[in-house]
Amino acid sequence: MPTYTGQSVALSALSYFGVVPALQHLYNAGATWHMDKWRKALTLAMVFPGQGSQSIGMQADLAQEFPEVLEVYAEASEQLGFDLWQAAQAGPQEKLDETEITQPVMLSAGVAAWKAWHKAGGPRPAQLAGHSLGEYTALVCAGALEFADAIRLVRKRAELMQSAVPAGTGAMAALLGLEDDAVIEVCQQAAAGEVVSAVNFNAPGQVVIAGDKSAVERANEMAKAAGAKRAIMLSVSVPSHCALMTNAAAELMTALDSTRIADTAIPVVSNVDVLPYSNSAEIRDGLYRQVFSPVRWVESIRYLVSNGADQLVECGPGKVLAGLTRRIDRSLATGFVENPESLSKALQLSV
């Protein structure tokens, strides 16, 4: 009797026989366990975090078990001209939180976790998505971007975003306890000729706003008056995903145009349009518009579910996205890949 070793054989049978005959063929050949694992892989979505999940010492435990982690950081360091792993391990935290460091760190961390997942025997997911910067990680893992090219892109992205507004003039805040429409209305009323808008729809009742600092502060007060439970100013130097980033996006497009981008081997759901990218031209346009457009994360998770996902693994440091997912759709089984222990637990979702 033939021995089937997993998803690759199942996919080969699918290609050769067709869908229903392939399933029957594998069943008859005694591949029941592998078919179940393959079926679960088809319902697995993987997501990648953006800025905010970084911390001193992140992935140290993972690196001890998986040498691929240090290999990823070494490749990033070669592109950047400084030791990125040292920055992630030694800090200080204020330095790690600078967007020029945070963006390449989080990209590297997501790719490193992805490699550890596969080295540990994790199946290839059926769908990918990334939160803001995490979309670059998803595109690397989907084969659309080479890692070295992505490192150069996110470094440029960080530089352009940081220089887009004078220091201290932009701000972001998290509004808790208001419906999306109420947040949008508050921003419209608070603008008064300046920029402030909803930029991250993270979970029901959790929306981040960004723009000119004075306008964000007005929006915070109006949100409280409208019934928000909390309005929290965020410790960031860049008001991401708002109209203040339009010029930065235009300059980033020059870098995107000169970067080789392939079609995705795994569907990647766009932050901007909440649809999978269908070709490289769409990817360039999506990454350009993402800089000044909202991250529609609630809709992205619901899209993954509507297309068959019933398990979701966050690939990278922290578990912010896994937590948000539970608030968006409690039917999803969630896991995360932060260290060997959490990786082992996440693997159980696909067993």
pLDDT digit string, tens, across residues 251-283: 999 999 999 999 999 999 999 999 999 999 999
Q: What is the mean pLDDT of residues 90-117?
A: 94
Is the whole model's pTM more than 0.85, yes or no?
Answer: yes
Query: Of 70-74, 163-167, 198-202, which range is least confident?
Result: 163-167
Bridge partners of 311, per DSSP, are 44, 333
Phi and psi at residue 292, to the nearest 5°: -120, 15
Q: How far is CA 113 from CA 74, 222, 319, 338, in A?
A: 15, 41, 13, 7
CA dihedral 134, 242, 244, 247 (to 10 degrees): 50
Structural domains of the chain, with CATH: 7-41 (no CATH), 44-164+243-350 (3.40.366.10), 170-233 (3.30.70.250)
DSSP class of 349? G
Pairwise CA distance, residues 47 & 50, whole Å: 10
Q: Is the peptide bond before 125 cis (omega within 30 degrees of 0)?
A: no
User: What one-character-per-residue DSSP string does 254-280 give?
Assistant: HHHHTS--PPPSS-EE-TTTSSB--SH
Report which of 76, 7, 268 is spatially closest to residue 68, judged by C-alpha positions: 76
DSSP state of 62: H
Q: Is 210:231 a contact under the CB 8 Å cutoff?
A: no
Consecutive H or E run containing 201: strand 196-203
Question: The dihedral of CA 185, 239, 145, 345: what is its sign?
Answer: negative
The verdict on whether 132 is a catalytic residue reads yes
Closest Cα partner for 45 from 236, 328, 346, 305? 305
Helices (H), the chain: 7-17, 19-28, 32-41, 60-65, 67-80, 84-90, 93-96, 99-119, 134-141, 147-163, 180-191, 213-225, 246-257, 280-290, 297-306, 320-328, 340-347
The confidence score (pLDDT) of residue 237 equals 78
Q: What is the mean pLDDT of the chain?
A: 90
Cβ-based neighbours of 345, under 8 Å, separated by 6 or more: 335
Residue 122 has pLDDT above 50, yes or no: yes
Predicted local confidence at residue 26, as pLDDT: 42
Dist. CA 261–CA 270, nearest whole Å: 15
pLDDT at residue 193, rounded to an integer: 96
Query: Are the beta carbons of 147 and 200 closer than 8 angstroms?
Result: no
Average pLDDT over residues 196-203: 98
Residue type at position 310: D
What is the pLDDT, as a whole number, of residue 56? Answer: 95
Catalytic residue (choose from 53, 77, 132, 293) = 132
From 214, 288, 285, 211, select the one nearest 248 (Cα to Cα).
288
Distance, in Å, from the CA atom of 1 to the CA atom of 20, rounded to the nearest integer, reads 21
- Both structure tokens of 120: 């540990």
Is 34 among the residues known to form the active site?
Answer: no
Tell which residue, 244, 208, 237, has the closest CA to residue 98.
237
* pLDDT tens profile 295-342: 999 999 999 999 999 999 999 998 999 999 999 999 999 999 999 999
Under 8 Å between Cβ of 222 and 192: no
Catalytic residue among 34, 108, 241, 350: 241
Taking each helix axis from N to C end, the angle separating 134-141 and 147-163, rounded to the nearest 10 degrees, works out to: 170
